[in-house]
Amino acid sequence: MPEKTLTEAAYEFMEGLERRKKRMIAVIVMCFVLGPVGLGFDWIVVDHEKGGLTDLAMNPLIIITAIASIIIMTYGINRYFLIEKWGNQLKQLDQLEETIYKEVLGSKDSVEL
């Protein structure tokens, strides 16, 4: 079985990043949907009980839900910035690939002449 070349390994790595990027976008969307829903639930419960924020400490479910919602939204924001970083690195790799491709074709054309 022949070993992979460096180019093949680089392409597989980039394809893997693209697949992970798509999954992470789905995670981010879910985080930004579920987080506000949880906070909205908390707001409705607090408003419905008419006790306001004074009864908030009496109901640990509200506190736990609010904390979980904030953690979910924070995780989504963190993943968003990670995807942005990956996007910049993939752009740099694409630019490098284009440069190498142009140089190789340019050197082949000069050799053929």
| pLDDT of amino acid 37 | 82
| pLDDT of amino acid 1 | 52
Q: How far apart are CA 98 and CA 106, in angstroms?
A: 12
pLDDT in tens, the chain (113 residues): 567 777 777 778 778 878 888 888 888 888 888 888 877 777 777 666 665 555 555 667 777 877 888 888 888 888 888 888 888 877 887 787 788 778 777 766 555 54
Q: Are the C-beta atoms of 38 and 68 separated by less than 8 Å?
A: yes
Record the tokens describing residue 48, joined without a space. 């419905």
pLDDT digits (tens, 9 = 90+) for 73-93: 888 888 888 888 888 877 887
Residue 35 corresponds to which amino acid? G
| pLDDT of amino acid 39 | 77
CB atoms within 10 A of CB 38: 20
pTM of the model: 0.58
Q: Are the C-beta atoms of 27 and 76 separated by less than 8 Å?
A: yes
Query: Quick one: which of 27, 6, 20 has its CA closest to 90?
Result: 20
